[in-house]
Amino acid sequence: MKRSHALFCTFLLAFSLAITGCRPTGQQNPTLPETGSPADAVTTSVTNAESAGYTADSTGQIIDEFPAESVSAFSHSKPDRPAADDSAQNGSPSANPSAASTAYQVSADIISDGTSVVPPLPDRDPNSIIDLTTAQYTYEKMTADLNWFAASYPQYVSLEAAKTTADGRLIHVVYFGNRNAARQIFLCAATHGREYMTTQLVMKQLEYYCANYNTGSYNSIPYNRIFENTCFVLVPMVNPDGVTISQLGEAGLNRQDLRENLHSIYSSDINGGFTTLDYETWLTRWKANGVGVDLNRNYSPGWTLINDRPVPSSSLYKGSSPGSEAEAAALMSVIDSLSNPLLAVSYHSYGNLIYWQYGQAEPLWTANSNLATHISNLTGYPTAGYSNEAGFSNWCVIERGIPSVTVETGGVPCPLPLDQFSDLWARNQHLWAMLATVY
């Protein structure tokens, strides 16, 4: 007993350096492997978590909620972080790292495959994992929370990493429910950097369904039965580089060349008449990825028809070719890996409405209309008309024949202030259960 207690204390101290989190009361700690010393196993687990980017250290001091009445009052925090090793990043700022072109991959260091160690986590309120005290829900916070969910609920949460961004961040994919279910529903959020509250929403949905998996129900159907039959596949933050720029400014980027590139893009936007904002405010409104490509204009349907901006910009630049960006390639790869995707929902901000028309013919016209109507009936968001060309939902509908809608959340310009979240949550809390029971 004394040895077990000592080992647990040793682990707890080590693991707290890597992640701040815990498991709900009553869940058992995963068992250490029989081979090798427990202390070595703990050290390996912490090292692997850190090497995979799973740390609870937010590196920067995230700023407090900015005033709701003035989004322009938002200011960037200046995180303390080591100087970037730009020598490790080959190529120009617009070049995707090699990981962006690799096959869809499991991040083995992140989550146990049944044989490796999942570190035990101290107790934590399972209903309060997601930080709702600030609108600044960062990539680092999301990553730490995802690791907590997967370690705490291994029966129905698993993680993979699909691609790596230009600034070296993993694009996380979450599988919730029965991974082997014959049906899948796909959701993604934060395609545009400044729309990062959509990540907070999807993560809060994940928290809610995890915490209530065995006790909750929708229309008298138990959650565990709903999610046993349908696997939800989530990309909670499609554009982590863009989110980081909007939240933390250039100081949040790892690569010096990308930080310098922001100034070049700003000058181009000024000279092109695309902005009159000062540099710091312009960064908070950033929509593109880390190299200035608008990810919702980087898909093939209608790509040749749009020419909003001819060069990298804070928004609207479509990229050098369809699917040129790691983030867009990641979403297409995930969709194509699914055996039976029923539908796709892409969360954006703002407008409180639902786009569903992408030039599709029947039967997809009716299928998309029905999907939009179901979501409208639940959320109260009205349906809207035609969306822009070359977006992710366009690709799902036109190229893959999957019903797909774009749900615009929030009633004020982005970045959404914290006081918008309660409305987002009230409207969208039951979306997953509704979709899985209607379809």
Q: Count of domains in the chain?
A: 1
Residue 261: inside a domain = no
What pLDDT, on a 0 to 100 scale, did the predictor assign at position 124?
80
Whether 227 is covered by a domain: the verdict is yes
Is 405:368 a contact under the CB 8 Å cutoff? yes
> What stretches in the chain show pLDDT beneath 50?
1-75, 77-120
pLDDT at 121: 58
Residue 418 lies in a domain: yes
User: Tokens 């995930």 identify what position?
Assistant: 334
Structural domain includes residue 179: yes
Tell me the percentage of the chain whose pLDDT exceeds 70: 72
Count of CA atoms in the C-beta half-sphere (13 A) of 213: 18
Does residue 356 lie in a domain region? yes
Q: What is the pLDDT of residue 236?
A: 98
Q: Tell me the CATH number at 217.
A: 3.40.630.10
CA distances from 374 to 31, 111, 379, 387 (A): 44, 35, 9, 19
In a domain, 274, yes or no: no
What residue numbers bound the domain in which 178 lies? 155-242+326-438
Whole-model pTM?
A: 0.75
Domain assignment present for 147:
no
How many Å is the Cα radius of gyration of the chain?
21
Task: Give the pLDDT score at 14.
Answer: 44
By DSSP bridging, strand 221-222 and strand 217-218 are antiparallel
Condensed to tens digits (0 to 9), the pLDDT of residues 104-150 reads 233 333 333 333 334 445 578 999 999 999 999 999 999 999 999 99
Residue 71 lies in a domain: no
The beta strands (E) that lie in 107-192 are given as 157-164, 170-176, 184-188
pLDDT at 35: 31
What pLDDT, in 10s, does the model give residues 231-275? 999 999 999 999 999 999 999 999 999 999 999 999 999 999 999
